[in-house]
Amino acid sequence: MKKLIGIILAFFGVFMIGGCSKDQQTTPVEETYEEDEIVPINIEDTWNADKVQTEGFALPVPQEDKEKFDLPLLVGDNMLLQANMTVKVWGKVDTTGSIAAKIVKGDSESVYYGEIDGGEFEIYIGGQDYTSACEIVLITETGASYTLKNVAFGELFIGAGQSNMGWTMGQCYGATTAILRYAEEINSSKNPDIRLFSVSPNKAAQPIDEVISSSSGGWKEADPVSVRNFSAVGYFFARELNAKYDVPVGVLQSCMGGTSVYTWMPDSVTDEALGAKESDLVSEYFNGMIYPIRNAVPRGVLWYQGEGQSENYAHNYSLVMKGWREMYGKENVWFSTVQLPRYTDAEEYFLCREEQKKASLENEYATYSVNIDCGLLPENVASGDTLNPNGIHPYDKKPVGERLAHATMQAFYGAKGVWRGPVLKSAEVSGNKVILTFSNVGKGLSLYGTAGFEIGEGNKAYVHATPEIIGKNQVAVSAEGITAPTKVRYGLVNSSPDMGKMTSYEQSVSLYNTKGADEKAYPAEQFVWKA
């Protein structure tokens, strides 16, 4: 219900942005600032609870015999399973009959049962409390056993998309590739409450059953070695969520550079896709990298994809959500989307951000984070980085990962306070100015220069507008020569009128909200308003 109300309000806000004119005067409602509050995770999820079997054969004395078992890469030491939700372990075993999974947490034990069918088994495990150190002992009726060590139960997310999701901590450079931007974060990353798994790139014409290889070598605890070679966005997301909730967090990275949205759709939805589709490419990465992880049911998906694909993107991305949820047999799998940072082709990225927002607003259990002040200027690409034409792989992944965590916390975990940026709520013309009213302003709006605002009238081209804060949640914009404005936009152009030559894409925007001790918080979303 809370999510539905949010969607209704969001669409109402979109209607107001497009429909408010000089004849429609509005009185802004001042927001009351709400201090940040992390609400403990308390999510009831009964998915597949009816498949959990807690009664079965009397357990024999276990005899460790790993040779009898053939477990997939996703089922192993150090793995993380979603807490407080039915999950499963699966694999193959050289015997018949029944099989059990004994969960050992310190002095407590619980047992769950499954059947062996043609040498294959799956065991559904009832929802478990958060823990970062337990064992799962697989035991057959004959006593053959396999002990999975150092297993965690926590919040599990799939890190999906293309190269910017896969861009590692060790690829976030300074001036040269010999200098790491996040060296300190890597060196201090040891944390048994963060678990990481990387699926090796693989494409397939038909869905394959299991992950064929893992570039991380299987599940790993976070440490300087595993973190350096892992998705920077995924790691910073996990670190932030772990820090805020003090529960184990796992990220299962399954992404591939240079891939279109069509390659991540299951075949079941491709007939509904819009736009040009390359028939040797459709579904191939879904088949090779997503279908094989279907048994590791996550809380949600972290999605970073869409570069250069603005046409019909909202529709096509919605098909990805639909297809993956159908694969999991679970309608409430969350999708948290990285709204694209800046790049040299500003208009294409602007349009794609709008499509990403649209898809997120139209889909229940979907949200997005704003990164309009992030990105990598071509002249700031590190010397020696041959994989970064024109800065398409930004190095500033820390704010991207943390904001993705914050958007997820607010949308799904119920965090209170300010966790994302201002959003245009309404606009009205007053003489030669347009008065913009924003929601989610925290302790108030704050300007850092004048960049990002443009204004125009009629069919005339947009010109740079000068913004002025006139209230806690209001900005007035105007420009010399514009006497009867009819349109305003924000966030499209890559320029810095206040500072001349830019040294950072952050200088392309100027509007933020504030929180706490009036500190700069989050960037305002891009928008287009027309009377």
* C-alpha–C-alpha distance, residues 270 and 263, integer Å: 10
Per DSSP, the three-state class of 37 is strand
Percent of the chain with pLDDT over 90: 89
* C-alpha–C-alpha distance, residues 336 and 342, integer Å: 19
78 burial class (0-12, 13-18, 19+ CB within 10 angstroms)? buried
* C-alpha–C-alpha distance, residues 515 and 531, integer Å: 32
The token duo for 125 is 């495990």
| pLDDT for 30 | 59
| pLDDT for 28 | 43
| pLDDT for 68 | 97
Helix/strand number for the chain, H first, E second: 9, 26
Query: pLDDT (tens digit, 9 = 90+) per residue, 456-491?
Result: 999 999 999 999 999 999 999 999 999 999 999 999
Per DSSP, the three-state class of 372 is coil
Instruction: Indicate the pairing of strand 249-255 with strand 87-93.
Output: unpaired
The DSSP secondary structure of 240-267, one letter per residue, reads HHHHHH-S-EEEEEEE-TT--GGGGS-T
Of 251, 525, 254, nearest to 371 by C-alpha is 525
* CA distances for 226 relative to 193, 196, 231, 293, 310, angstroms: 13, 8, 10, 20, 34
127 burial class (0-12, 13-18, 19+ CB within 10 angstroms)? middle
Residue with tokens 């450079």: 173
Q: List the domains of the chain with CATH numbers.
A: 2-37+420-530 (no CATH), 49-152 (2.60.40.10), 156-413 (3.40.50.1110)
Residues of the chain with pLDDT below 50 are 1-29
Q: Which residues contact 471 (CB under 8 A, 6 or more apart)?
A: 28, 30
- Give the torsion through C-alpha atoms of 405, 408, 409, 413, to 10 deg: -140
State the number of CA atoms in the 13 A half-sphere of 112 facing the CB: 22
* C-alpha–C-alpha distance, residues 129 and 188, integer Å: 27
pTM, two decimal places = 0.94
Helices (H), 156-294: 163-166, 183-187, 224-228, 232-245, 284-285
